[in-house]
Structure 1
Amino acid sequence: MGLATYKKKRVFNETPEPTGGKSAGAAHTFVVQKHAASHLHYDFRLEMDGVLKSWAVPKGPSMDPSVKRLAMMVEDHPYDYRTFEGIIPEGNYGAGTVMVWDEGKYAAADGPFASKKDEDKALLHQLHAGKLKFVMLGEKLKGAFALVKTSARGENAWLLMKTQDEYATSHDILVKDRSAKSGKTLAQIQKKRTPKKTAAKKSTARKTTARKKS
């Protein structure tokens, strides 16, 4: 899918979101971002072929193998998006607060592979076949997972599920609601700073009031 759709949807002089970034390291990385946009959801992103393949998961991931979560595939995101945490200003696509809920490494379940390039080929083949199997090593998400394409909700619909292993549990992993990057909650990130546009409006209003008083 590439980054053309991602860039088309954003105005980068208005949003702090990254434009690119180059993958580094021998292992594949992942990030799950909690996103308080018009509807709260979790963005599940797997590094693959230099970009982040991305799914919006409305109810968030689960560590319970009996639970299947709807995951809607969205546009690829740039590699540097894996560390993005902050506020997308109002009026921009995806406006709201973004938190790095979990991050870490992941690998194709049918490895090991001779190189990262070989693993990329295997992952892309699984992606195109509609069934990804991988092992996650994050702060919150650990063990084997699968993403399986489904026709239930259109061509972009997938199901995210935990597969049975020693990490499987019925405990609700979503109660761990602090950032894996900063340790902050969504509310604390929201208070961290005022979006530039709002700050500029407030500054202009203060100056106007001061002139009137003078």
Structure 2
Amino acid sequence: MPKAPIFVVQLHDARRLHYDVRLEVDGVLKSWAVPRGPSLDPVVKRLAVPTDDHSLEYATYEGVHVGARYGSGAVIVWDAGVYRNETRDKQRKLVDPADAIDRGHFRFALQGVKLTGSWAFTRTGRDGDWLLVKVRDESADPLLDLTVDDPRSILSGLTIDEMAATAS
């Protein structure tokens, strides 16, 4: 039986604080920067900007990128786990994740430390931006904001500010 693909959400304090949502697809981490982080409220649509693919080894990276280059700043692993593809075509057959992303809609179920349940990335058509939306299911909770209530790394236990202080 093939192993489930991984996902990771890294909180990154670069030019602006944002959450990098990364999904394993075809041997790399497909990545979107989500400025306000994932919302458990299915009504809330979060902007998601595609970024460069990363290697699978990057899924456990925490630390501080130093310098003036793009991507400088502290990084923590805010959440991680595995996911299941839920994208189906009109005949109800599963669509390959890479094909789903190419088509502009990818639905998946997360099984992480913090995030669970079904989610979807949908391309908006404007400038290549996407939206990240929580699907209505038993894990949806419009009253809970994990970005505020649970800001620590699942690996080190550090907050983003505590990680940044390690570079001093």
TM-score between the two structures when normalised by the length of structure 1: 0.71
Greater relative CO, 1 or 2 (CA 8 Å, sep 6+) = 2
Aligned-partner SS, 2:38? coil
Aligned to 2:152, which of 178, 183, 187?
178
CA RMSD of aligned residues (A): 1.5
How far apart are residue 163 of structure 1 and its match? 0.3
State the distance in 1 between where 2:117 and 2:8 align. Answer: 15
Q: 1:14 is matched with which residue?
A: none
- Superposed, 1:74-93 pairs within 5 Å as 74-93=51-70
Q: 1:160 is matched with which residue?
A: 132
Provide closer, same or farther for how the CA distance between residues 141 and 188 of structure 1 changes in structure 2, counting only shifts above 3 A: same
Count of equivalent residues? 160
**More strand by percentage:** 2
Q: 1:37 is matched with which residue?
A: 14
**More helix by percentage:** 1
The AA in structure 1 aligned to 2:132 is: L
Q: 2:91 is matched with which residue?
A: none
Q: 1:149 is matched with which residue?
A: 123
State the distance in 2 between where 1:71 and 1:172 align. Answer: 18
Unpaired runs of at least 5, structure 1: 1-24, 112-118, 195-214
State the distance in 2 between where 1:90 and 1:137 align. Answer: 35
State the distance in 2 between where 1:125 and 1:59 align. Answer: 27
Unpaired runs of at least 5, structure 2: 89-93
In the TM superposition, structure 1's runs of 4+ consecutive aligned residues that sit over 3 Å from their partners are none
- Higher Rg of the two aligned structures: 1
TM-score between the two structures when normalised by the length of structure 2: 0.90
- Superposed, 1:16-95 pairs within 5 Å as 26-95=3-72
Q: What percent identity do the matched residue pairs reach? A: 44
